[in-house]
Chains A and B, each alone.
Chain A
Amino acid sequence: MSAPESACAAALATASMEVMTGNDAAATAAKLARVQVIAAYPITPQSPVVEQLSAWVESGELPAEFVTVESEHSALTVCIAASTVGARTFTATSANGLAYMTEQVWWAAGARLPIVMCIANRAMAAPWNVLNDQQDSMSVRDAGWVQLYCRDNQEILDTTLQAYRIAERLHVPVMVCYDGFLLSHTMMPVSVPDAAVIDAWLPKYDHPLTVVDPADPRNIGPVVIADPRADASGEGHGGYMEIRAQLHGALLEVLDVIPKVDSEYGAAVGRQWGGLLWEHMLDDAEVVLVAAGSLGTQLTVAAEKLREEGVKAGVLGIRAYRPFPVAALRGKLAGRKLALVYDKALAYGYEGPICSDLRGCLLGTPDAPAVFGAVCGLGGRDVPVDQLAGAARRALADAEAGLRVRETDWINLHLEG
């Protein structure tokens, strides 16, 4: 987090400091955003978000419709339909809940609905495991949602608010991802902006793309053929591929909007988060440790340890994973010796998803570093800082030995039992 020079001192002065969990930070942000329709289904570790919001709706503290759906598939469906009529919507889930609603995850993006969904990241079954990794949200990275990853509870609150502004500006849905238990259930001090400050920054949502009006009837989301087709008056309209290309175009535009919204938020509220990426001791770093979420914070400690040993290490944190910040990453990594990507997820049969994406985006660029991958923390497996640093040492030795490709390293794995 950095406080911009233009930080709105008044906003900071009216904010209240509270100690809360990551889930409470998400719920508080939804409340500050004055969401109008909430639909969610409980799953560990997301459940407290649902419980808190339902309590506020019941007490009248949050004037919204809370639909107590029977499943995650229906939770996202309710948001899809309510967003279609122009309501600001919110939902949250984890792991199997996200997998269960996957059909609708694709639908929401294809339908260009500015839904915001918090993901308390959790491991995918089988076997059952309720603890943290990032396999759940990584598995839907290609569905057309913006994905933002948070480092701490303050960032969860701020990012969820920013998510609405991003979503509503370009009509794309946004997932705000934060590590289950590590953040969702951990208390931290969080500065809660004054409601009036947020009301001014995030006005009512009043410009849906869709029209639901008997006086102006539309068939929303009908069958679309492959090729462009003329309407009844002879005017041509795009086919499926044009519609999907527009979604892709909107997501690429989000790459400009995320940093813009982050600095607009900074000006209004007094905090900003680096836009697409964040960094720690990166300036002169030769070895760059890359990760998304709270793992990045642990990497800062590992990098400091490595510095003490004389290794010029730094951290590059992925805040926006989708759209993938290709240009920003190229800019930050050109001329470095090594980028080691720590993934808390795996594309089974290949390697960590962030690692593949990063290697792909650097391939063939001038002065690209070697890109190696390490997988860690699956199902809540402890990620000790000295082992994070150890993986960096191994990777550096491999890079210095001239390796450009290497198998994925596994951190803190004990196959022998």
Chain B
Amino acid sequence: MPTKILDLPDTSYVLPGNRACAGCGIGIALRQITAALDGKMVMTVPASCLTVLGGMYPIASVSVPWLNVAFPSTAAAASGLAAGLRATGREGEMTVLAMAGDGGTGDIGIQALSGAAERNDDFIYLCYDNEAYMNTGTQRSGSTPAGARTTTTWAGKRENPKDLPRIMEAHGIPYVASTSAAFPTDVYDKVAKARDIHGLRYIHMNTPCPSGWSFDPKDTVAIGKLAVDSGLVVLYEVVDGVFRLTSRSASLAKAGGRLKPVAGYVATQGRFRGMSDEAIASVQAWVDTRWAGYLARDAAEHCSSQTTAS
């Protein structure tokens, strides 16, 4: 049963006050992520907005063990933490969580992550995807959506983002999920589920960023929800290769699979200002094709596995 919002634990390992921007999606989700692991964890974090959120020496904003590492090395650091804890007989004491941005995950960090996934090392890897290099001033990343203006794509990015969860699924790891910081219960449930699985568990989390996407900080959750309702972000999980839609994406599918238009989503954020109708139509076509694929996969794998089970 999915957790209800009022049932989320009150304990917070994210202390009041941090250095992230007002309305940052990372801080919202970090409460659920750390709560889902009961704080019995060590997280490792590369250069990113998350480093800044974590605090500046000698003051920390999060009360769980946290190891900062170099930008390309998150997954290898998690492998090292897991190996070190096993070697010193402490592997049962805590879950290892690697948490990095989209650039640290899908661009500079993908080699170490791919290696760790191929070895199926024992940790959770959570990518918070704010769709650009925010820490260094909103440059494009491989996860930046087409049409978005960044400080290295002044006329709007031409390419669609790479599909990181699918790349991770191709490694044959036991758990892959896609979630959104705007859905705290979905984040909580996926991290809690991942906690009890061994091997490499990959969670991709869309994370609205008011500063980089250019919207009012009060709208973080609304924009995150709209991304799901518009099909730009799809909530799902793949457990041992079996796909199922979850949370809001599952409800949308159940209600006939109708999505809101991409044009409406694009209109909410300054980063898409000036995006041409053709560019929007091209993203809409990309979304429609992907969404049809997810619906078909959900029907074929999830619904059929339910039928077999009943």
Contact = CB atoms under 8 A, between A and B. Distances in A.
A212 B80 contact: no
A354 interface: no
Given A69-B115, A212-B42, A219-B54, A77 B59 contact: no
Interface stretch (B61-69, B126-134, B162-170): B61-69
B83 interface: yes
Given A37-B87, A214-B40, A222 B55 contact: yes
A357 interface: no
Nearest to A82: B84
Interface string B54-78: 1111111011111111101101111
A273 to B, nearest CB: 30
B65 A223 contact: no
Contacts of A220: 65-68
A231 B39 contact: no
B93 interface: yes
Contacts of A84: 67, 80-81, 84
A328 to B, nearest CB: 35
Contact of B94 (A89, A214, A224, A229): A214
Size category of the binding interface on chain A: 35 or more
A222 B60 contact: yes
B121 to A, nearest CB: 8
Contact of A73 (B52, B72, B85, B94): B72
Contacts of B75: 74
A82 B69 contact: no
Given A74-B112, A81-B77, A222-B51, A87 B84 contact: yes
A154 interface: no
Contacts of A131: none
Size category of the binding interface on chain B: 35 or more
A85 B88 contact: yes
Given A70-B111, A217-B63, A77 B51 contact: no
Interface in A383-400: none
Contact of A79 (B41, B80, B118): B80
A91 to B, nearest CB: 11
B65 A36 contact: no
Contacts of A180: none
Contacts of A232: 59
A217 B114 CA distance: 29
A104 B57 CA distance: 21
Given A213-B65, A222-B60, A81 B86 contact: no
A217 B44 CA distance: 13
Contacts of B119: 67-68
B200 to A, nearest CB: 13
B194 to A, nearest CB: 18
B254 interface: no
Given A81-B84, A217-B64, 4 more contacts: A67-B119, A69-B115, A86-B84, A217-B66
9 nearest A-B pairs in the assembled complex, by CB-CB distance: A81-B80, A70-B115, A82-B84, A74-B76, A78-B80, A77-B76, A36-B87, A85-B84, A219-B60
Interface of B: 13, 39-42, 44, 51-52, 54-60, 62-70, 72-73, 75-81, 83-88, 90, 93-94, 111-112, 114-115, 118-119, 121
Interface of A: 36-37, 39, 64-65, 67-71, 73-75, 77-87, 89, 103-104, 107, 211-214, 217-225, 229-232, 235, 237
30 contacts: A36-B84, A36-B88, A37-B87, A67-B80, A68-B119, A69-B79, A77-B73, A78-B80, A79-B80, A80-B69, A80-B73, A81-B67, A87-B83, A87-B87, A89-B84, A104-B73, A212-B42, A212-B67, A213-B65, A214-B65, A217-B60, A218-B60, A219-B57, A220-B68, A221-B69, A222-B51, A223-B51, A223-B55, A229-B58, A231-B59
